[in-house]
Structure 1
């Protein structure tokens, strides 16, 4: 299964959690709308266009409409596999990992500009995807681009969340990613797609490259893992 604009808007992630029986508290519609309104200063239509910073799957599958995208650098945060996922890229018995922005360092990614008139509808799609539970915290950040600095919404890891994985080493994270698979596909494919698209954009990430090398080596040694990744 792949996430699309329509499937996200139709609540596929919420249903996935409800049907699984996993003890994950879903964000309610009222909470989601209140969170978006708070970020927009209490106005459904902001006075100017809104930027959203993508650092993982938003780069290669944004699923929301945007008017412009720019490469940019966010200081004070770094990209890391630090959020356990027992569903999308894993199972309750064999949870996977997905990316989050954790404190420290810097992160190169993509800033997407959403037109003010479309902000409410498009951000609702982003929130349905990123804020389905309590794994992330949306916050305003400053992203430096070649065309100047922009104020952008970034979804940073919630260190208070039960699913926060902390700072796993490359071998520890690779061991999880190499074997985990869920309804959205394998963790390995999530990693490989992210690395591939970052490199296509000219954004090297040494840590993710190291993870990729470990995961590729592990899957080559495990016929079962390789077969799961090919499905």
Structure 2
């Protein structure tokens, strides 16, 4: 578990850069691989199943606000380099794109941990460039390797602004299964025995 304070990056410049890269001339696409799949919190005009190559979903990001606290950090998903990741992309009307991005920053970038990127997402209707929130292994919020016992302890204890880490992981897993997506790593973590009390 992390014991030192994590430096907070100013998310504002990253938002402005992302807005500039989007440009506002076309509809905005957002890639969801975790809670955005089942709780996007924004209006969209289209949703497609999508796959990204070169990145994978991993429950390896410390959460000190949404799913934990500074004293008892929880976990949330990040997209780490390597492999591939199945999820969904959401199409947002360009008239509402700026507002949606600002709200996404308020939700996902409180501490400026993620590295927002425009990634090519492959869909049945062709590739689409979408905004995705990735995580660097060099980030102090990247957990590195956690033991099964540590995952069990976090599942049992960590709670934040939006609830527990365990509920977050379970809700994501259930939604993935409904979409026909098998995340074996996540399924294994959720099958771990609860810690003895």
**TM-score under structure 2 length normalisation:** 0.88
Q: Partners of 1:81 and 1:132 in 2: how far apart?
A: 18
Q: Partners of 1:48 and 1:103 in 2: how far apart?
A: 27
Of structures 1 and 2, the one with the larger relative CO (CA 8 A, separation 6+) is 2
Matches within 5 A, 1:1-231: 25=8, 27=10, 30-31=12-13, 33-40=15-22, 43=23, 46-170=24-148, 172-214=150-192, 217-218=193-194, 221-222=196-197
Unaligned runs of 5+ in 1: 1-21, 223-231
Instruction: Report the aligned-residue RMSD.
Output: 2.0
* 1:194 Cα deviation after fit: 0.5
Q: Partners of 2:117 and 2:106 in 1: how far apart?
A: 16
> 2:191 aligns to what SS in structure 1?
helix
Q: Is the 8 A contact 1:135 1:164 kept in 2?
A: no
> What is the aligned residue count?
193
Q: Is the 8 A contact 1:52 1:113 kept in 2?
A: yes
> 1:218 aligns to what SS in structure 2?
coil
Q: Partners of 2:67 and 2:158 in 1: how far apart?
A: 6
> 1:158 aligns to what SS in structure 2?
coil
Q: Partners of 2:137 and 2:21 in 1: how far apart?
A: 20
Q: Partners of 1:211 and 1:128 in 2: how far apart?
A: 29
Q: Is the 8 A contact 2:9 2:113 kept in 1?
A: no
* 1:107 Cα deviation after fit: 0.6
**TM-score under structure 1 length normalisation:** 0.76
Q: 1:114 to 1:141 in 2, by over 3 A?
A: same
Q: Which runs of 4+ in 1 moved over 6 A?
A: none
* 1:38 Cα deviation after fit: 3.1
Q: Partners of 1:82 and 1:61 in 2: how far apart?
A: 20
> 2:137 aligns to what SS in structure 1?
coil
